[in-house]
């Protein structure tokens, strides 16, 4: 879970920094083509020249100007893809016992009854699945990423950081498939 958080944070941080970087404005009378994606931007970008003013030597050295492109805001995870095929898995929620934190803050473990999800991959390929468990009244959620080989089965729950409490809702998402949502009894 910490690894997926670190990777997600690094990607969002890099995208955030790229969004903050100002792009040069084309100078009147100059026709330019977009720079290739592999071209590095100069360390310091020139200020745009006012119409009728001389172009500074520094701006001539900066290379061709790149027109500013407006990118749409990144979308949250899609809520539902009704046109996609159903996620080829079987999901069961069962009650079991597990050694979990006893809640006293001392780090002691206790044998408690908890819910556990059992997922079976019915497809002929490996599936990468995002699991989100949400408490609907408080909107508090926990997430996990799982990878499931074709024909395999996986048991998961508190060991992967999911709470799986009675009354919560579990949602499975995988690219190219419709999400699967099921309440926890």
Using the structure block, give the residue that is written with the tokens 């900066």.
62
Q: Which residue has the tokens 């490996």?
A: 126
Which of 53-67, 83-97, 164-178 is the least confident region? 53-67
Which tokens is 147 given? 């990878």
Over the Cα atoms of the chain, what is R_g?
25
Q: What is the pTM of this model?
A: 0.54
Assigned fold of 89-183? Immunoglobulin-like (2.60.40)
pLDDT of residue 7: 72
- Give SS3 for 59: helix
Q: In this structure, are residues 35 and 24 in contact, taking their beta carbons and an 8 Å threshold?
A: no
Q: What is the pLDDT of residues 15-69, one digit of tens each?
A: 655 555 454 444 444 444 444 444 444 444 444 444 554 544 444 444 444 444 4
State residue 56's pLDDT score.
Answer: 46
- Listed in sequence order, the residues at least 6 apart from 6 whose beta carbon sits closer than 8 Å to its beta carbon are none
Q: What angle do CA 173, 174, 175 make, to 5 degrees?
A: 130
For 99-153, write each residue's pLDDT tens digit: 777 778 787 888 888 899 999 999 999 999 999 999 999 999 999 999 999 999 9
pLDDT of residue 103: 75
**Domain boundaries, given as residue ranges, for the chain:** 2-61, 89-183
Cβ neighbour number for residue 89 with a 10 Å cutoff = 19
Grouping H, G, I as helix, E, B as strand and the rest as coil, residue 19 is helix
pLDDT band at 81 (very low <50, low <70, confident <90, very high): low
The token duo for 140 is 């508090």
The 10 Å Cβ neighbour count of residue 100 is: 15
Q: How far apart are CA 75 and CA 72, in angstroms?
A: 8
């Amino acid at each position: 879970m910490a690894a997926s958080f670190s990777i997600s944070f690094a990607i969002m941080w890099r995208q955030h920094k790229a969004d903050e970087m100002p792009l040069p404005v084309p100078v009147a009378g100059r026709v330019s083509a977009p720079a290739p994606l592999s071209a590095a931007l100069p360390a310091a970008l020139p200020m745009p020249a006012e119409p009728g003013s001389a172009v500074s030597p520094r701006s001539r050295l900066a290379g061709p100007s790149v027109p500013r492109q407006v990118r749409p805001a990144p979308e949250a995870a899609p809520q539902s893809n009704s046109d996609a095929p159903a996620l080829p898995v079987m999901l069961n929620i069962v009650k079991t016992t597990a050694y979990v934190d006893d809640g006293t803050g001392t780090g002691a473990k206790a044998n408690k009854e908890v819910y556990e999800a059992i997922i079976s991959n019915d497809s002929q390929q490996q599936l990468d699945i995002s699991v989100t468990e949400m408490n609907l009244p408080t909107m508090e959620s926990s997430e996990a990423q799982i990878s499931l080989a074709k024909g395999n089965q996986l048991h998961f729950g508190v060991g992967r950081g999911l709470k799986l409490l009675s009354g919560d809702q579990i949602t499975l998402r995988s690219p190219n498939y419709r999400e699967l949502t099921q309440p926890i009894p």
